[in-house]
Amino acid sequence: MRELLGQKEFELIDQNKCRYRIGVKGEVVMTLPTGVKRQIGQLVVEDGKLTYICFRKKAIHLMRVNNSYGVNEFILNKFTPDEVFFNIEDTGERLWIDGKELIAKSSYLYFKNSGFELQKFLPINFLKAIEV
Total structural domains in the chain?
1
CA 78/CA 7 separation, integer angstroms: 17
The arrangement of strands across the sheet holding 93-98 comes to: 10-13, 19-22, 27-31, 37-46, 49-56, 83-88, 93-98, 128-129
Instruction: Show the domain range for 38.
Output: 2-129
Tell me how far apart the alpha carbons of residues 60 and 62 are, in angstroms, rounded to a whole number.
6
pLDDT one digit per residue (tens) for the chain, 132 residues? 788 898 999 999 999 899 999 999 999 999 999 999 999 999 999 999 999 999 999 998 998 888 999 999 999 999 999 999 999 999 999 999 999 999 999 988 765 555 567 889 999 999 999 876
pLDDT of residue 124: 93
pLDDT of residue 132: 61
